Structure 1
Amino acid sequence: MLNSLVSVFQYFLPITVALSVAFILQRLYISLLLKVGGRPLLYIPASFSVPIHELSHYIAAKLCLHKVEKVVFFQMNSSQTLGYVSHSYKKSIVSPLTNAVIGMAPIFGGWFVVTLITFLLVPDIYQLINIKLSLTDTTIVDDIARYIRAFESVFYQHYAEPKFWLWVFLVANVAVFSAPSGADFKGAWSGMALIICMYVVLFHFFGDDTGLFNIVNSMFSAYLPTLILCVFVVLFGTSTLLVFNIIKSKLLGAKQS
């Protein structure tokens, strides 16, 4: 069983690392947004990104047959909650699983919207994120490196186009606000833990020949290129905000002196 656990950990390592970096950048990005322009600046990207987040919750709740009590796609007030979906359900053996699906839904909703935006604005980059990186391949690190170099090549072809920078702005913010909130994780963690345990057990007894393994591999192989792309775009956005924050601090310091 320990060997199976190690194998599953190694399998999920690339996407786990990418997600961890994405979540760190998300926190930093929002923090810098608030430092540079306060909540008014935060509301600009939130006005179109938060509805995507909440719509993902709503669709997932409906698909999981939960009763949706109330939906607020976007709100501007003094609270930290920019939107929410309130839902109820009858507890059952599958409740942890459905809550995990609902809690993590914005990740996949954001993935869909980022893919759509890319297809419409920069088709060359869409060709890149349409590439599936196999997580079972021992050359995954080399594949990711080649993928990054390919993106750099596309970047130099399109960086002078206004629609490319519109794409950067939209993708960065949709990706940032697609990250599950603390409340999302709180509702989903037990189901996620159960899914991982089930996956380890199935892997231990059946190896990588099960239909579940093939489904998960296909999903993550399709998701990883988009995730890597979003990490680089959000990193660029975070760096830009950091520069603005430094300039703002120096200007305020000069005025005070």
Structure 2
Amino acid sequence: MEILQQLFAVFGGIALLLFILYKLEVWTTRRLTNKLGWNAVLLTGIIGTPLHEIGHVIFCIVFGYKINEVKLFSPDRQTGTLGYVKYSYNSKSLYQRIGTLFVGLAPFVTGITALLMLSYWMFPEFAIEWQLSSFSNIMEAKFSIFWEEFSHNFSTFIHELFTKENMQRWQFWLYLYICLSIASHMAPSSSDLKGAWPGIFLVLIMIAFIAIISHYTQFLLSREQMHTMRTWSQPLLSHLMFAAILSIVNMILTYVVTFFVRR
């Protein structure tokens, strides 16, 4: 059972943070639209949407998909869409079917990458300290420990970034606006998730197969290899947590700004 628990710790933590990011974006976007109207969504969408769509384009190229049409930023009030990528793939190709997972979730990859690059560029001391902070417990397959680690790092994030010195710099507010724009639009849309299901199904089957075989034989995945996987996935969880905390800040600011608005 040890290998099964470790696989759950790795992929369960990633899945949980991705789910949190998705729900936060849905809530924030709905709140902005209902309280401030369509133009409020465009204010963040002008930065976040092109990055979202570029993620789809990159992974379409990686998996050899045919790209039929790309609109990086083309707001449509009638449908509620801000941009889109239309593509097609060979459903008989196992590689391209698995690719639906990565194409669908691609905005997470480009969004998190952009957040990290921006943080290292504009606030390198903060980003490096965050990167080096302890995440020793985050890989434990226990929700209570995971939540305790998340809460601790949320508190650390707020205290170290929202300092009096930072808030007196215009660069801080620009950084915050760009980060919130990215975080508000990096979760997959409902159509993205629908298109990703074939890949999700196949990857889950592969993970289950590897876990069962490794549990009895250690042929596909030894304990040493599992330890290496946990070590390499820890920075990914750290980055996902960083993005989730930014999204929570985004949600709080959205609520504060729209609290007194009546529509």
For the superposition of Structure 1 and Structure 2, which TM-score range results when normalised by the shorter chain? 0.7 to 0.9
Structure 1 letter corresponding to 2:65: H
Deviation digits for residues 161-201 of structure 1 (CA, Å, limit 9, x no counterpart): 33222222211220220101111111111211211221122
Indicate the percent of aligned positions where both proteins have the same amino acid.
20
TM-score normalised over the length of structure 2: 0.81
Indicate the residue corresponding to 1:225 in structure 2: 238
1:224 is paired with a residue whose SS is helix
- Does 1:89 find its partner at 2:89? yes
Indicate the residue corresponding to 1:130 in structure 2: 131
Residues 115 and 226 in structure 1, CA contact (< 8 A), matched pair in contact too: yes
Structure 2: tracts of 5 or more residues without a match: 216-220
Structure 2 letter corresponding to 1:84: Y
Query: In structure 2, do the counterparts of structure 1 residues 107 and 95 end up closer, same or farther at CA, with 3 Å as the change threshold?
Result: same
For 1:24 and 1:6, locate their aligned partners in 2 and report how far apart those are by CA, in whole Å. 26
Structure 1: tracts of 5 or more residues without a match: 253-257
Indicate the residue corresponding to 2:202 in structure 1: 194
Indicate the residue corresponding to 1:245 in structure 2: 258
For 1:65 and 1:37, locate their aligned partners in 2 and report how far apart those are by CA, in whole Å. 40
Structure with the bigger percentage of helix = 1
Indicate the residue corresponding to 2:17 in structure 1: 18
Q: Which of residues 175, 190, 196 is equivalent to 1:182?
A: 190
In the TM superposition, residue 20 of structure 1 has moved relative to its aligned partner by 2.4
TM-score normalised over the length of structure 1: 0.83
Deviation digits for residues 207-233 of structure 1 (CA, Å, limit 9, x no counterpart): 553898577545632222222222222
Q: Size of the alignment, in residue pairs? A: 249
In the TM superposition, residue 3 of structure 1 has moved relative to its aligned partner by 7.6
Residues 60 and 103 in structure 2, CA contact (< 8 A), matched pair in contact too: yes
Q: 1:141-180 maps to which residues of 2 (within 5 A)?
A: 143-144=149-150, 146-157=152-163, 158-180=166-188
In the TM superposition, residue 98 of structure 1 has moved relative to its aligned partner by 1.2
Query: In structure 2, do the counterparts of structure 1 residues 223 and 160 end up closer, same or farther at CA, with 3 Å as the change threshold?
Result: farther
Residues 154 and 245 in structure 2, CA contact (< 8 A), matched pair in contact too: no
Q: Which of residues 199, 209, 216 is equivalent to 2:222?
A: 209
For the aligned residues, what is the CA RMSD?
2.8
Task: Point out the more displaced range, 70-79 or 11-20.
Answer: 11-20
In the TM superposition, residue 137 of structure 1 has moved relative to its aligned partner by 5.0
For 1:244 and 1:126, locate their aligned partners in 2 and report how far apart those are by CA, in whole Å. 27
Structure 1 letter corresponding to 2:105: M
For 2:80 and 2:5, locate their aligned partners in 1 and report how far apart those are by CA, in whole Å. 39
